[in-house]
Amino acid sequence: MNEQLATLSTLLIYGSIASYVVAMVGFAVDLSGFGKGADPNRRRKAVGIAMSTSWLGLIFHVLAVVLRGIAADRVPWANMYEFTLMSTMFTMAVFLVVNRYKDIRYLGVLVALINVVALFVAILLLYVGAEGVQPALQSYWLVIHVSVATLSTGLFCVGAAMSVLQLIRGRDERRRAGHRAEGASDEGPAGADGDGSRGAAHGGSGGAVPAAGAAGRASSLATRSASTAARSAEPETVPAGAGVAAVETIDVGGEEPEVLPARATFWSRLLDALPSAISLERLAYRLNAVGLVGWTFVLITGAIWAEYAWGRAWGWDPKEVVTLVVWLIYAAYCHVRLTTGWNKRTFAYFSLAGFAALMFNYYGVNIFINSLHSYSGI
Amino acid sequence: MSTYTPEGLRGTSSSGGSRRPTPPAKGLGLRGWLRWSWRQLTSMRVALLLLLLLAVVALPGAFFPQRRVNPHLVNQYFEDNPTLAPLLDRAYMFDVFSSPWFSAVYLLLFTSLIGCIVPRTLAHIKALRSAPTRVPARFTRFPVRSQRVAHADPAQVGKALHAVINRRYRTTVGTETREGQQVRTISAERGYGKETGNIVFHLALVGLLVVTAWGQFVHYRGQAMVIEGSTFVNSALDYDSFEAGALFDPESVEPYRIRLDEFVGEFTVDAQPRDFTAHVTLFEVGGDSSAETIRVNHPLSVSGSRVYLMGNGFAPDLTITDSSGQVAHDGPVPFIPADNDLGYTSTGVVMVPDANDGERQLAFNGSFLPTAVQADDGTYLGSAYPEPMDPVLVLQAYTGDLGLDEGMPRNLNVLDTTGLEQITTTQDGAEVPLQLELRPGQTAELPEGQGTVTLNDLPRFVALDLRYDPAPLWQGIFAALAFGGLVASLFLPRRRVWVRLFPGPQGTTVVHAAALARHDDPGLRAELDRILAVLPGQGPKE
Ligand code: HEM
């Protein structure tokens, strides 16, 4: 009975991989449609199929994880194969859930690709049978610690994918803006930031407000609120006796599309369909910040669990060391992001460095380094 | 690089971890340089550098085995890389976390942290007590702003706006004169919790470091092997190994006793361990006794200390007589299972210093196999299963001088054969080392009447690890504070809203409003819209 369930779980994973492959192709066809200059307002059939198959894949994926847990009679995240199932499940879930609030379908190809590769590696190289676990792993702290670790991994993963797109998009923007206005959009101050100390530099009635250009060609993939109204006359005071009609409703602010000259190559049209590097960076930061909170929780619960299982909260075991390094990099990332007005590209490099450390922590430490976390007997 | 200005510190130059320090002019002397270095150290840029540096200097600790974590692996490394290892050792690669530079980096980082956070805390306390900032002269410099006309007089509009803003914001209402007009203003601020969270987070990190260090100073830790039926006393003398911090107070070792009544191990059919339970009786100092269990992940807590179950195995109970027929040894001896051997192939040493009145001492070493596996020729290959399905004790025997009086520290699980002579036997005309094979209840004789060995029974033993460290509770508290602070700091919105109400014609009011947030705040525009939605007599927005 249990073996059948475990087999069924594996079959579901194959089904999930197949769905993600279809989704990946769908997302790619959709993107290349933009490259070929298709009407951004067309019915995007390919992306519709891609989204449906992504959801289908996720449903298979969740079922596979649940069956795995039933087959092993414990929570299904106790070995590398299962960690991968969980992390990729969360990666897809984070992508799909975020997408309900903000259109990020442009990220679909990357997310589906990552999932397909990671799941293949898991099935081919990391597979182990659904069995019970050694005593040190039997703890409710394991349940909390590892599930949050895989969730954070999912968040960091989508964040890193976002940073990759940001870099590609930013490079394109810079190239296009020419060296005339080096990185006008890529290197601006960190958003609406700095308690006015920065924005103040732009003062002056009707003066240049960052990024508050006239509504240009709305980016076609990302839905945005183009709430900007014309700011032709925005008086700072109301002259005595002025007619009411002279002052209409004026609203400034919110996210605004930037204007870029239209171009004609496949690549350029495709990239034009993406949100600006600034918006991508902002999304990446938001995902990574939530990921950092999760990772902090992972560090703390890991220490508590180690206190119970091994009689010390912190013992500089390789896994602990690299987990701390991952945390330090993402903490430094938040520091840089919150306290400096550095180039946005730098933030993306931090985000990717953090993710690289995370991947090393996962594959490198588990496979190549002798760690308590990979021990098998008491 | 643009510099970061902490809340409330703008315009002051006294303190804070944020200005870009300018090097002192020549001739400022030592004080000037110290001051400059301090500013450097507490600057954001250096803090960042140190944070990343800490990550970098910690990494080798993951690549090279660490003495404090696993000394055996370090020895192994020396054997495998005889030329490289000493060089690495000189570079502290096997003691990364006690290396001078690791300590330097984290101490500097925390100094920087304190230098940065204390002024911020003071500034924040001041900000908490003062009213929101005054309304800025120009609103056009703010990216989020609005102008509306409300069909009601400024007093009414002001009241309505104040009512809605005041729900979530701290507000001050005022008036000013602009171009001869009396203008009402509202200044509002919310999200002090963001800065509070940030400060709590950073201070909690300092707290975490301090309590951890304190724990290191006062802690003690000991290891002991306890055999079924025997009792262990919590006292430095009764431990096989004992270590304590620099400020360790011997009074903190309470002499309670623990008797191991029974040990139960559960294994799957393919020898995977599933559950270990030590059933013990705890005799407390006051005279109370109680039945307790110690399991992996479930240590026993006794008056501030915790007892962990770290290992287990078999302790064959042996009776050994010498050439005079007198019992020279009677009792169980722990045999230690090999690392990662699922079948519990165990090795051990039995020393009999009392044999023959100490003249010709006896010693044995060998293996204990709970479920023996034999090759076709009868040699023992190992153990297939951790439970005693077919237990065999295989021993080699030695005689001579054990050298125990020399007081040399020795590994009790490895027999030092200097001064000993292996006892042999004749087999097919050749002289071969004697090998005794014992199953429970069996007795084997040593050749030439040198004595007998009887395997009586197979009690289990457990390896207990006892630790006294008052830090974990406090570490937990500070970790929770850090976590809460981080969440508050990252996700609470920090917003300011300003409103100016100009009297318009025919009893209307022209409303100017601006909003500002700390960091990206996608909800800022919506927030201002929400506030302005209460304006009386306003037409629907397009
Ligand atoms: C152990 C070392 C440190 C760690 C792990 C750390 C971690 C963090 C993290 C994760 C954040 C983002 C979340 C938050 O705002 O609370 C942050 C923000 C911040 N940290 Fe640190 N930090 C450290 C040391 C320092 C030092 C030495 C300084 C001062 C020089 C500092 C000043 C700040 C400031 C100003 C912010 C931004 C607050 C804001 O604008 O929201 N931190 N830190």
Say what the pLDDT of residue B536 is: 67
Q: How confident is the model at residue A241 (pLDDT cuts 50, 70, 90)?
A: very low
pLDDT in tens, A186-219: 433 333 333 333 333 333 333 333 333 333 333 3
Instruction: For residues B504 and B184, give the distance between their C-alpha atoms in angstroms, rounded to a whole number.
Output: 12
For a pocket test of ligand 1, which of B52, B120, B202 has the largest count of ligand atoms closer than 8 A to its C-beta? B202
Contact A244 B504 (CB under 8 A): yes
Is B293 in contact with B457 (CB distance < 8 Å)? no
Res A375: pLDDT? 35
Residue A262 has pLDDT above 60, yes or no: no
Interface touch A340/B55, C-beta < 8 Å = no
Do B369 and B391 form a contact (C-beta atoms < 8 A)? yes
C-alpha distances in Å from residue B232, one per residue of A86, B237, B465:
45, 10, 12
For residues A229 and A167, the model is more confident at A167
Nearest to A328 among B44, B54, B143 (CB): B54
| Lowest-pLDDT choice from A155-159, A181-185, B169-173, B366-370 | A181-185
Binned at pLDDT 50, 70 and 90, residue A231 comes out as: very low
Q: Could you read off the pLDDT of B59-115 as tens digits, one per residue?
A: 998 888 888 877 888 888 888 888 888 899 888 899 898 899 899 999 999 999 999
Is the pLDDT reported for residue A294 higher than 90? yes
Instruction: Report the predicted TM-score, pTM, of the whole model to 2 decimal places.
Output: 0.81
Q: Does residue B121 carry a pLDDT above 90?
A: yes
**A139-152 per-position pLDDT tens digit:** 778 788 989 999 99
User: For the ranges A38-42, B35-39, B112-116, which has the lowest average pLDDT?
Assistant: A38-42
Q: Is there a contact between B486 and A234 if contact means CB atoms under 8 Å apart? A: no
Residue A32, pLDDT above cutoff 50:
yes
Query: What whole-number percentage of chain B has pLDDT above 70?
Result: 92
Cβ contact (<8 Å) for B140 and A378? no
Nearest 5°: the CA angle B272, B276, B280 is: 165
Strand bridging mode B231-233 / B420-422: unpaired
pLDDT at B490 over 80: yes
Q: Which positions in chain A touch B149 (Cβ < 8 Å)?
A: 244, 247, 249
Residue A264 has pLDDT above 50, yes or no: yes
Interface of B with A in 189-218 (CB under 8 A): 212
The answer to whether the CB atoms of A203 and B140 lie below 8 A apart is yes
Q: Is the pLDDT of residue A243 over 80?
A: no
CA distance B286 to chain A (A): 26
Buried b (16+ CB within 10 A) or exposed e, A25-64: bbbbbbbebbbeeeebeeebebbebbbebbebbbebbbbb
Q: Is B420 near chain A, with CB under 8 Å?
A: no
Give B21 Cα–ligand 1 centroid separation in angstroms: 19
Q: Is the pLDDT of residue B408 over 60?
A: no
Q: Which atom of ligand 1 is nearest to the CA of B197?
A: 16
Which whole number is the average pLDDT over B423-430?
Answer: 84
pLDDT for residue B315 is more than 70 = yes
Does the pLDDT of residue A331 top 90, yes or no? Answer: yes
* Cα angle for residues A79, A83, A89 (degrees, 5° grid): 150
B63 touches chain A (CB under 8 A): yes
pLDDT for A40: 67
- The CA–CA distances, whole Å, from A332 to A286, A349, B44, B101, B369 equal 15, 12, 11, 20, 53
What pLDDT is recorded for position B18? 43
* Mutation target among B10, B72, B141 for the A interface, most CBs of A within 10 A: B141
Q: What is the pLDDT of residues B343-396, one digit of tens each?
A: 888 888 898 888 888 788 888 988 999 998 888 888 888 888 888 888 999 999
Average pLDDT, integer, range A212-240: 41
pLDDT value, residue A297: 96
Separation of CA B486 and ligand 1 centre (Å)? 9
Q: Mean pLDDT over all residues of chain B?
A: 84
Q: How far is the CA of A334 from the centre of ligand 1 (A)?
A: 8
pLDDT at B538: 55
Query: Do residues A163 and A351 touch, judged by C-beta distance below 8 A?
Result: yes
Most ligand 1 atoms within 8 A of CB, residue of B39, B42, B120, B198 to mutate: B198
Instruction: Check: CB of residue B135 under 8 Å from CB of residue B174.
Output: yes
Residue B53's pLDDT is what? 93
Chain B residues 390-419 within an 8 A CB cutoff of chain A: none
| Pairwise CA distance, residues A322 & A173, whole Å | 35
User: Closest Cα to atom 6, ligand 1: which residue?
Assistant: A331
Check the CA dihedral B92-B94-B100-B101 and report its sign: positive
Q: Which residue of A has its CA nearest to B49?
A: A332
Of A247, A252, A296, the CB nearest to B144: A252
pLDDT at B241 over 70: yes
Q: B202 alpha carbon to ligand 1 midpoint, in Å?
A: 7
Over the stretch B437-480, which tens digit does the pLDDT of each residue have?
999 998 988 888 888 999 999 999 998 888 888 888 899 999 99
The number of C-beta contacts closer than 8 angstroms across A and B is: 256
Which residue on chain A is closest to B298 by alpha carbon? A308
For tokens 């760690």, the residue is: A371
CA distance A53 to chain B (A): 31
Q: Is the pLDDT of residue A240 over 70?
A: no
* Structure confidence at residue A62 (pLDDT): 95
Q: pLDDT category, B134, cuts 50, 70, 90?
A: confident
Q: Distance, in angstroms, between B522 CA and closest chain A CA?
A: 7
Would you state the pLDDT for residue A137? 65
What span, in angstroms and rounded, lies between the C-alpha atoms of A170 and A105? 19
Residues with CB under 6 A from ligand 1: A 331, 334-335, 338-339; B 4, 6, 17, 42, 44, 47, 51, 109, 112-113, 116, 198, 201-202, 205, 486, 489-490
Residue of A73, A145, A193 for testing the chain B interface, max B β-carbons within 10 Å: A193
Average pLDDT of chain A, as a whole number: 77
Q: Pick the residue with more confidence: A58 or B272?
A: A58
pLDDT for A176-189, tens place per residue?
776 444 433 443 33
Average pLDDT over residues A95-114: 93
Lowest mean pLDDT among B123-127, B186-190, B260-264, B339-343: B339-343
Å from B311 to nearest chain A CA?
Answer: 6
Nearest CA in chain B to A350: B52
Instruction: Give the confidence band of A156 by pLDDT, cuts at 50, 70, 90.
Output: very high
Q: Residue A322 — pLDDT band, cuts 50, 70, 90? A: very high
Amino acid identity at A271: L
pLDDT for the residue A223:
32
Q: Which of A165-174, A321-330, B226-235 has the highest mean pLDDT?
A: A321-330
pLDDT of residue A357: 94
Cα–ligand 1 centroid distance for A335 (angstroms): 6
Q: A276: which 2 tokens?
A: 């600006």
User: What is the value of ipTM here, to two decimals?
Assistant: 0.80
Residue B367 C-beta-side C-alpha neighbours within 13 Å? 16
Neighbouring residues of B66: CB distance < 8 A, sequence distance ≥ 6: A316, B74, B94, B95, B96, B97
Phi, psi (deg, nearest 5) at residue B83: -90, -40
**Range with the lowest mean pLDDT among A297-301, B118-122, B303-307?**
B303-307
Q: Do B516 and A192 touch (CB under 8 A)?
A: yes
Calpha distance A68→B253 (Å, rounded)? 47
